[in-house]
Structure 1
């Protein structure tokens, strides 16, 4: 079972990174006005965010809060704090402008929290990497 949870967390990490990178590229491009800056920021985050996200998943896997909307909201907020700090720092370093870094980070607070919440809800309905749940167990807490 433990091995399955690692596969699940890796799969969630990859799917979230795809969604998150597209969002970062678009926001960075719009805010900086430069598509290449958007691409640099978006792709620089791929490695840092995957590592940070994986450890965030592992920590939350061991926290005793039962699966619920409340858990998903709290998890969304904790991930957004970690992710926003990473984005601000990388955006500042790549653009050379701390204001651009802050603007991109603040824009992401809104877009990424919504995207992450729906990503979590979708993964909650998927059994991959978990012991099989019955349909009743799977949907009763939604």
Structure 2
């Protein structure tokens, strides 16, 4: 849950900055960024649940756990990327009625998020790993 909040805040901030960069005013950019981040919170929660169900039932890489984690991470990043691109495109097009700019904004946000999400996730994992929250002491 903490990661989803961090991820959505990252999406909101990048969306707000880039939509302004592509020529919209701050208020319109804020509205679009809020729609994108809010919808992403819903869609990514659903897609993550479905992604986990699929991986729970897959046994084809169960012998090599490291390979399984790598493939699972890559598959989730692909699902997340497609979700982000589509949401940004749809929201931008609905609010500003331009497919060319919607494509540019969607691909720009995706490109930046690829880096920011990895960095933020790394630090998120480090914080959770260093805390003892939820760990049963033996």
Task: Place the TM-score, normalised by the shorter chain, in its bin.
Answer: 0.7 to 0.9
Root-mean-square deviation (Å): 2.7
Return the match for 1:43 from 34, 54, 61. Answer: 34
Which whole-Å deviations, capped at 9, do the CAs of 1:63-120 have from their partners, x for residues lacking one? 2575645533332222011111011000011112222211110111210111222233
Normalised to the residue count of structure 2, the TM-score between the two structures is: 0.74
Q: What stretches of structure 1 of length at least 5 have no aligned partner?
A: 1-9, 134-142
Return the match for 2:135 from 132, 135, 138. Answer: 132
Match of 1:92 in 2: 93
Q: After superposition, where does 1:18-37 map in structure 2 within 5 Å?
A: 18-37=9-28
Q: What stretches of structure 2 of length at least 5 have no aligned partner?
A: none
Which stretch of structure 1 is more off in the superposition, 60-69 or 41-50? Answer: 60-69
| SS of residue paired to 1:32 | coil
Q: How many residues align?
A: 124
Runs of 4 or more consecutive aligned structure 1 residues displaced over 3 Å after TM superposition: 64-71, 122-125, 130-133
